[in-house]
Amino acid sequence: MIWKLPFNLKKTKKLTQAVKERPIPKHIAIIMDGNGRWAKARQLPRVAGHRQGVEVLRDIISICSELGVNHLSLFAFSTENWNRPDDEINALMSLMVEFLQKEIAELHEKGVKIWMLGDIKGLPEAAAREVENAKAVTRNNKGLQVNIAINYGSRTEIIRAVQNIARDVSIGKIAINDINEDCFSHYLYTNGIPDPDLLIRTSGEFRLSNFLLYQCAYTEFLFTEKQLLWPDFNKQKLLESIFEYQNRSRRFGGIIE
C-alpha cells in the first residue's frame, strides 16, 4: 500500500515537481479494476462505471504524456471477459469504438501512438475496424505509446509464442540454440516494447489476472487500497504511485551497496 506522502507534497503541483525531478518510469502498466463496483455503489448500471473509467483514462494518458512516459499499457478486455453477459460485452466494445472515434484526432495531434496487445481478429467487426484505423493514423507518432490490451490473455500469448517458435524451428528459420530471452520476446505481442517498470492495479485486488505474466518478472507492483476504484483514480493518485515507485530500490536480483 502507498499514499504516505511527506506533508509538503500533498498538493498536486508540488508533487508533480518532485516527480519530475527523479527518473520517470519508462513503461507503466495499469489493470483498471473496479468499474462495476463503482457503479453498483451508486445504484447505476455497470456500463456507467465503464463509461466513467473511460473519462479517467483521458486524464491518465494526458499526464503520462506530459511526464515523458514512453509506454502506457492498459488492460481493457481479457480473453476471460468473454464470459461476461452479452450486454456488458457489447457496451465495452461500443465504449472502445466511441473512445477511439472521439479521441483519435487529439491523441494524434499530441503525438500519441496507439498500439494493441491481443488477438484483434477475435473482436467484433466494428471494434476491429476502429482499432486498425487508430493504429494506422498514429503509426508514425513518436510520443507516448498507449498499448491497449484487448482480447488479451498472457497464457495465450505465451502459448502462441511457443507455437510460432516451434514452427520457425521446423522450417529452419531459426535453430534451437537461437532460442533465448531476446529471441522469445520477439514472438510476444509486446515485441519491441520494454518490460513494465511499474504496474498499478486499483480496487485492492492482489493479482495479475493473466496480464503480462512474462513481462512483469522484475516489475514493481503497486496495489491500491480497496476503496480506490478505477473511476476514482486521477492525476494525484498516478503521481503518488510514481513517487512511491521512485522511492523503491530496484535490484534485479543483485545487491546495491
List, by residue number, the catalytic residues: 33, 81
Which one-letter amino acid corresponds to residue 152?
Y
Structural contact between residues 141 and 112, judged by C-beta atoms closer than 8 angstroms: yes
Best CA proximity match to 70, nearest among 115, 136, 21: 115
Give how far Cα 134 sits from Cα of 28, 59, 109, 112, Å.
21, 19, 13, 10
Best CA proximity match to 153, nearest among 98, 97, 211: 211
C-alpha cell at 189: 505481442
77 forms beta bridges with 150
Rounded to an integer, what distance in angstroms lies between the CA atom of residue 27 and that of residue 30?
10
